[in-house]
Copies of this chain bind each other. A is one copy, B any other.
Amino acid sequence: MDITAHMHQLGQQARAAARAMARADTATRNRALSLIADAIERDADLLRAANARDLEAAQAAGLAPALMDRLALSSAAIATMVAGLRQIVALPDPVGEISNMKVRPSGIQVGQMRVPLGVIGIIYEARPNVTVDAAGLCIKSGNAAILRGGSEAIHCNRALATLVAEGLVGAGLPQAAVQVVDTVDRAAVGALITMPQYVDVIVPRGGKGLIARLMAEATVPMIKHLDGICHVYIDDKADIDKALAIAFNAKCHRYGTCNTMETLLVARGIAPTVLPRLAELYATKDVELRADPEAFAILAGYPHLVAATEEDWSTEYLAPILAIKVVAGIDEAMDHIDAYSSKHTESIITEDHSGAMRFLREVDSASVMINASTRFADGFEYGLGAEIGISNDKLHARGPVGLEGLTSLKYVVFGHGEVRN
């Protein structure tokens, strides 16, 4: 099979389906989502059987335990997928809304209509739930999707593709509105990210290595984040209890997520008070602390204490490891963040209003927080309903990306025969 030709064919089919999706009304798109949810519920046993084949092959191939975990599709995971689809049905339709309507002196009325982007390419690892989540968000937002999941999940993804197609066709929508790439050949990814004539945007979900590789080759624009080097800054005007709770939660709630704190900055005035008490908390989780000389001196005696090197300030550990630096105050904290942050999420802990508002205004990251855990940087927590990914870029969508990030605004003009003078 000529992979490039095959991918171009998928692209052409997606482009044609995208026009039909953009025309489809809300009820039709919701009906497709409900039918897919019903079909998944009905065929849960078949899905688990397909997943068992994937797991067997993956075990034989020696897949790492963490990846095996992500690949596994339990009954609970299937129920969550179904519930997720029904939540998407309940979300308001982003498409067709006209906003900012105004009458101009010429007599024309100008506004902006929210419209689907067109064709979305999604590249992800061997996680079957992403197949359903992504399909659901693309259908709801009136887009066509081309999904390329990790090859280890191929049997399960094939089974899911059949059920998604059943729902689309059942609602009278084109089957090609969601196409699952049915080949494990990696050339399919190379083709998908270099056909801007068929694909409007790529949403890659995966580790830093995958994203960096795609960035180097893609000619289709991407909604992506490379990594999450998130900071919490404890100001000398911080409430100690809030500081302890947030700095512990931001590191220890989950280690492997992109919104986990990787570097803690502490104001010099409060460091001797707050760091020893924080160390007691981190000790309960055996968190390794990589400290700059000043923090190192304060933390002397902590069982997992290491001297930080320059590299620590730009490392995403995704592990029970935390870099700690003592700073003079808010300005040095913001300078450090400006130099080392991946512009994902930063939080200041302070009771000082002016300092908090400066931090909010001046820190150039996708999410900037006051007195809250960085772990809140998430589509569900922000109320987007669901998220297709997170963007650290400034153009188009920034931060957690929900249905709105899969749409665009076009200008609409209502005239009455007006011409320009």
Contacts and interface: CB of A to CB of B under 8 A. Distances in A.
Interface of A: 19, 22-23, 96, 102, 104, 106, 108, 110, 113, 115, 117-118, 200-201, 221, 239, 241-242, 245-246, 248-250, 253, 338, 347, 360-362, 364-373, 375-377, 381-383, 394-396, 398-400, 408-420
Given A113-B368, A221-B221, A372-B418, 19 more contacts: A19-B362, A19-B364, A108-B381, A113-B361, A117-B394, A366-B411, A367-B412, A369-B413, A369-B414, A371-B414, A371-B415, A371-B417, A371-B418, A372-B417, A372-B419, A373-B418, A376-B415, A377-B413, A395-B395
Contact of A370 (B102, B382, B413): B413
Contacts of A373: 415, 418-420
B398 A368 contact: no
A413 B415 CA distance: 41
Contact of A383 (B102, B370, B399): B102
A4 to B, nearest CB: 20
A218 to B, nearest CB: 11
10 closest A-B pairs by beta carbon, nearest first, are: A372-B415, A249-B419, A242-B417, A369-B413, A371-B415, A394-B408, A375-B420, A395-B396, A367-B411, A399-B411
A413 B364 CA distance: 14
A351 to B, nearest CB: 10
